[in-house]
Amino acid sequence: MKRTQFMASLLVALSLPGCASFEEAIREARMTDRERCASYGYFEGTEPFASCMIKLSTQRQIEAANRRHREEMQAANRHFDYLAREFRRRTEAEAENRRRDQIEVDLRRRAEAEEEKRRRAEAEAEAERRRRAEAEEEMRRRQEEAARQKPIEEDLGGGGEW
């Protein structure tokens, strides 16, 4: 509880100098305005003096409004610049992502093409093995048939017994 009260009183004490300096600035501006109007030859308490004070106050308000407007425009320009940089960064990042995606697609297509070539080569090799096996089987069958026919020919032509 005491800590909360201490913090509150400290906060109030710290905020007072800010108010005092703002009030002092207003007092100084009024004193400056009085001195300027008096330097123009107007006497305090007269209508022209009051009119001069109003004009100077209005001028100061316009200058303050213009200053705030400039600051707001500068802040808006900084924000716009930030948005432009962020847009450019995101656009470049998206372009980089698209480029990477395209590279991945190209690599995948190349890998698929290589896989297809490998499958075709394996299929051709398998077909070649089958052809060779069939040719060997055909040669073996013919050799066996030739071997079977050879004894018959030897029996037929062996001594002229007929």
DSSP-assigned letters across all residues of 106-149: HHHHHHHHHHHHHHHHHHHHHHHHHHHHHHHHHHHHHHHHHHHH
Is 9 within 8 Å of 28 (Cβ atoms)? no
What pLDDT does 67 receive? Answer: 95
Q: What does the pLDDT average to over 16-32?
A: 78
Q: Mean pLDDT over residues 7-25, rounded?
A: 57
pTM value is 0.45
Q: What is the DSSP letter of 161?
A: -
What DSSP string describes 82-113?
HHHHHHHHHHHHHHHHHHHHHHHHHHHHHHHH
- Per-residue pLDDT band for 14 (boundaries 50, 70, 90) equals very low
Q: Which amino acid is at 47?
A: E
CB within 8 Å of 38: residues ≥ 6 apart: 44, 49
Indicate if the pLDDT at residue 1 is higher than 70.
no
- CB–CB of 26/56 below 8 Å? no
- pLDDT at residue 126 in the model: 96
pLDDT at 10: 40
Q: Which residues contact 60 (CB under 8 A, 6 or more apart)?
A: 29, 33
Give the tens place of pLDDT for each residue, 102-127.
Answer: 999 999 999 999 999 999 999 999 99
For 53-107, what is each residue's pLDDT tens digit? Answer: 999 999 999 999 999 999 999 999 999 999 999 999 999 999 999 999 999 999 9
